Homo-oligomer: A and B are copies of this chain.
Amino acid sequence: MSAPAHRQPPKGTRDFYPPEMAVRRHIEGAWRQASIDHGFEEIDGPTFEHLSLYTVKSGEGIINELFSFRRAGGDDDYALRPEFTPTLARMVAARATSLPQPIKWFAIPTHFRAERPQRGRLREFIQWNVDLIGVEGPQAELDVLSTAIVAMERLGLGPSDVRVKLSHRGVVAAALHALGAQSERLADAFALLDRRDKMEPAEFDARALAIGLNGSASQRLTEIARTKLAITSDAGAIATALGCAPEDAQPLVELTQRLIAADLGAWCELDFGIVRGLAYYTGSVFELHEATGSERAIAGGGRYDKLIELFGGPSMPAVGFGMGDVVLGLLLRDRGKLPADEGASLLPRPDVFLISAGAADAEALLLQLAAQMRREGLHVRHTYKATRNVGKLLSEAGKCRARHAIILGAELEQGMVAWKDLDASSQALVPVGEILAKIVAAPRSS
């Protein structure tokens, strides 16, 4: 046995030392609590699935982006989950008849992509998934969008940091129709819109022509993709911007009305360039972006009413989104929404730091008090150093941000211990037999 060649984690994966883990738990905590407050219940699935689960939705093309494997001696092909939706759809399909509806689930699993790591994109990342299944109307969209926005708020972000960009495939389809796009080529039209920044104008025009859009219609198509509107429930304004009939804008109007009623309008805008590459969206689509548009999307989602069926379940309407931790973490750092110490001050604060200062029976008493206080749910620390230098030990207590210090020193002979409130910088002598009750009754560290 020899020392391993690798001191670093695999390329594109991360070690979470305590400060990095504290940042991760801070983000996950905001996600979890916003989900629960909106009535979503947490689920999880296996870290790997049968490989075939991922080709159902995404085709064989996805295989190169997956980490796939077999068990030695086994003949099942597995893959590390690249996203959560196939697991979610499988879980819904397996119990569709027995699950109470609507199904409101969230999950915060790790995911894996065998891509080249780059800014905002890693090979292993954490993604928050929120899905509402079984509700047709725009209340479902409102609830998932509100969940995303409340989580942003709790992380200290506001409408000037994050924009929620909304579109609706049905509304944009009406506009494409009005331009002359063939009904049976709408999926191609959305794919073209989605990839518009990745091709030359000539190629774009040629492809537009192939789906029934001539030169000036192709020009209008790119204009639609650049159309942004402040949030509005005015069907006429949307219709004018898109060149469709006001009644075609109705699905978006019903959603924007609710967003405004829930006081979420300031976060949102209409952006008809939002397409979402995935073919399975059937209605609303949305993305959360850093306000200046400088990073990748923070989150993306929409309505996918055909997906559960695709995975062998019944036909069920559904809305959901996914939000990764990597781009969001960059944004929080850039906006100064994480402590300057990169997480250290997010670590849990000790309630009590116990100091044994020399008396012969102090050591056993320290062990006993520590055990009693921990049984009361207090976060208790003590030194592991041999020193009995109270000054040094108080400085150790301060360094770990302990709220109280209890010193078992010379006063033990009179049956007393010294209790220091390190936040208030006050001190008192307390009988040994009373210190537990006093410290349990004191305000706790957050």
Per-residue CB contact flags for chain A residues 62-103 toward chain B (1 = under 8 Å, else 0) read 011011110111101010100000110011011100010010
Contacts of A5 in B (CB 8 A): 50, 52
CA distance A123 to B365 in the complex (A): 45
Considering only CB atoms, which chain B residue lies closest to A58 in the complex? B1
Q: Is A350 an interface residue (CB 8 A)?
A: yes
CA distance A10 to B24 in the complex (A): 28
CA distance A400 to B59 in the complex (A): 39
A43's partner among B21, B68, B150, B310 (CB-CB below 8 A) is: B21
Q: Is A389 an interface residue (CB 8 A)?
A: no
Q: Is A368 an interface residue (CB 8 A)?
A: yes
Contact A37:B378 (CB < 8 A) given known A21-B42, A52-B4: yes
A6's partner among B33, B73, B90, B370 (CB-CB below 8 A) is: B90
Copies of this subunit = 2
Contacts of A45 in B (CB 8 A): 9, 13-16
Q: Within residues 10 to 60 of chain A, which ones have a CB less than 8 A from any CB in chain B?
A: 10-11, 13-18, 21-22, 24-25, 33-34, 36-39, 41-50, 52-53, 56-57, 59
Please state if A18 and B41 are interface contacts (CB–CB under 8 Å): yes
Considering only CB atoms, which chain B residue lies closest to A49 in the complex? B10
Q: Is A379 an interface residue (CB 8 A)?
A: yes
Please state if A68 and B67 are interface contacts (CB–CB under 8 Å): no
A368's partner among B263, B367, B382 (CB-CB below 8 A) is: B263
A4's partner among B1, B53, B71 (CB-CB below 8 A) is: B53
Contact A146:B262 (CB < 8 A) given known A4-B52, A36-B379, A69-B67: no
Please state if A9 and B371 are interface contacts (CB–CB under 8 Å): no
Q: Is A114 an interface residue (CB 8 A)?
A: yes
Sample (17) of A-B pairs whose CB atoms are under 8 Å apart:
A1-B59, A1-B310, A3-B56, A4-B50, A7-B93, A9-B49, A15-B45, A15-B91, A15-B94, A41-B347, A47-B124, A67-B78, A134-B384, A146-B371, A258-B367, A262-B370, A262-B371
